[in-house]
Structure 1
Amino acid sequence: MNYLRRRLSDSNFMSNLPNGYMTDLQRPDPPQQSPAVSPGPAERRMPPAQQQPSAGGGSGFFSSISNAVKQTTAAAAATLSEAADRAGVSSHGKILLVIDDQQTDWVKVFKGRKIHGEFDIKVEQAEFSEINLVANASGTYNVNIDAIRSGHKVTKSFRPDFVLIRQHAFSMDRNGDHRNMVIGLQYAGLPSVNTLHSVYNFCDKPWVVSSL
C-alpha cells in the first residue's frame, strides 16, 4: 500500500493520467483521530432475585412451630392431668357409712361395685355406739369412729358421702338412745337409706302406730 502511495505521489506518473482520474487518491489523508471510546452496553440490571427468608423470618417460623408444640404439649399435659384427677377420685371412691353390728360384713357386700360405673365404694362400718359426729351450721361435718376390731383399737376420721342405717337408733337398753346421732346426720344433710326422717319416726313405736 505504501508503494502505491509513493508511486501515485510521483508527478510524472500522475501527469500522464487522464484528467480527473484517481484525483481522490491525491487528497491528503484526513487526520486520524483517536478512536472514541464508545459507551459500553447499558448496564444490565439483574432482575431482583427472589427474596430469600431472612434469618429473622426463619427464626420467626421456627418460633411459631415451637409455640405450637408447646401449646400442644400444654394441652396434652392438661388432658393427662384431668384424667389423673378423675383416676384419683375413682381410686379414692365414695365413702359409704354403714351403721350396723358386726354380724354382717358390708365390705364384702359392696366389694367390686361402683357408682355409675365410675366411682368405687369405700365402706366404713360401725355401730351407733362407736360413732361420734360433729356437724356445723356451715354445712361441714366429720365422723369419728372409735372401735375395737380383732382386739385392736381402731380410730378413723372421715366425711361420708352416704349413710346406710341397719341398726335401731333407739332401744330401752343402757346407752341405747342414739336419736341425737340421727338428728346430727340430718343436720349435716347426709343422704340416707332409709331416710333419716323415717328412722327418727320409728324410734318410738307408739308414735308409728298412731301415725298409721
Structure 2
Amino acid sequence: VSAAARELDLPQPTASHGLARLRKALGDPLLVRARDGMEPTPRAEAIAGVVQQLLELRRDLAEGGQTFSPDRLKREFIIAGSDIAHLVVLTALHSAARFEAPHTSYRALTLSGDEMVSALETGHVDIAVGAYPSLVAGIKTQRLYQEEYLCFGKEGHPFIKSGETDDFMAADHIVVSTKGMAHAHRAVERALLDKIHPDR
C-alpha cells in the first residue's frame, strides 16, 4: 500500500482508505499477505490491465496535460454478447480500430444472465452488446441499432407461400434453446414455444 501511495502521489492513509473502498465495492480483498509481502488476488490480476491503463492516462495528464488519444491506447477489451451481436459489432469495430486504435485487441464472450450482470459490475467485461431486458439498475445502457426477426425458407414451402401464422406454427420445428441467457431472444423463444403445439 505504501508503494502504491508513492506511485499515485498520495498520503499512505488516503491510499489505505481507497483500498478499503475498492475491497468493499468489489467484494474481494484484492491484496493478501504472502511470504514475501503482499500479493494480488485472482480478481486483482483480472482487472490489473484496466488499472494500469488508468494510471498511465493519469500520468500523461499530470506530466504533459495531454488529452486522451485512442492511437496510444494499449489494452484488450472484453465484449459480451450473442453470436449475432459479436458478428455485427466486432466486424465494424475491427475495421475502425485498425486506424483509430491500432494497439487495442478484443475478446468476445457469451455469458448467462447472472454471469453477465456480475461481469459488468466487477469489470471482468467492458461492455455487453445485445438486448438484455433483465439487466439490473445502475448498469448504463444505450441503443446502438435495431433489429427484427425474419422467417425464410425454400421457394414453394407451404407456410412461406401462405404467410399465415397458423401454418408456421403447425410445421415441424427444431428449437435451438437459449435457456440461461438474459438476452431478449429468450423471451421470443418462450413466446414461440407457448404457441407451437407440444407434438410439433
TM-score (structure 2 length as normaliser): 0.28
User: Greater strand percent: which structure?
Assistant: 1
Instruction: Kindly indicate whether structure 1 or structure 2 has the higher relative contact order, using CA contacts under 8 Å at least 6 residues apart.
Output: 2
User: Greater helix percent: which structure?
Assistant: 2
Q: Which structure has the bigger radius of gyration?
A: 1
TM-score (structure 1 length as normaliser): 0.27
